[in-house]
Structure 1
Amino acid sequence: MFDLYGFTASALAFLVAFVAAGLFTVIFKVLYQWATPYNEAKLIREGNTAAALALGGALLGYVIPLASALSHTISLIEFCAWAALAGVIQIAAFTLIRMIVMKDVTARIERGEMAAGVYLASISLAVGMLNAACMTS
Structure 2
Amino acid sequence: MIVVDIVVSIIVIIVLQLLGMAVFSWMTPFNDLEELKKGNTAVGLAFGGKFLGTAIILGVSAYTNSSIWHMILWFAVGYVCLIVAYWVLELATPGLKLSEHLKDGNVAVGILLCFVFIGMSFAISSLIV
Number of residue-to-residue matches in the alignment: 128
Query: What residue number does 1:5 align with?
Result: none
List runs of 5+ in structure 2 lacking aligned partners: none
Query: What residue number does 1:38 align with?
Result: 30
Offset at residue 101 of structure 1 (A):
2.3
Offset at residue 114 of structure 1 (A):
0.9
CA distance in 1, matches of 2:119, 2:29: 22
Query: What residue number does 1:115 align with?
Result: 108
Normalising by structure 2, we get a TM-score of: 0.92
1:16 is paired with a residue whose SS is: helix
Q: Which has the larger radius of gyration?
A: 1
Superposed structure 1 runs of 4+ greater than 6 Å apart: none
List runs of 5+ in structure 1 lacking aligned partners: 1-8
The residue type equivalent to 1:61 in the other structure is G
What CA RMSD, in Å, does the superposition of the two structures yield over aligned residues?
Answer: 1.3
The residue type equivalent to 1:77 in the other structure is W
Query: What residue number does 1:60 align with?
Result: 52
Offset at residue 112 of structure 1 (A):
0.8
Offset at residue 18 of structure 1 (A):
0.9
CA distance in 2, matches of 1:132, 1:13: 23
Offset at residue 27 of structure 1 (A):
0.7
1:134 is paired with a residue whose SS is: helix
Normalising by structure 1, we get a TM-score of: 0.87
Offset at residue 85 of structure 1 (A):
1.3
CA distance in 2, matches of 1:119, 1:38: 19
Tell me whether 104-113 or 93-102 shows the greater mean CA deviation: 93-102
Identity %: 21
CA distance in 1, matches of 2:24, 2:38: 19
Offset at residue 39 of structure 1 (A):
2.1
Tell me whether 32-41 or 111-120 shows the greater mean CA deviation: 32-41
1:20-71 deviations in Å (ceiling 9; x for gaps): 1110111111111111223211111111011011011011101101111111
Q: Does 1:124 align with 2:107?
A: no
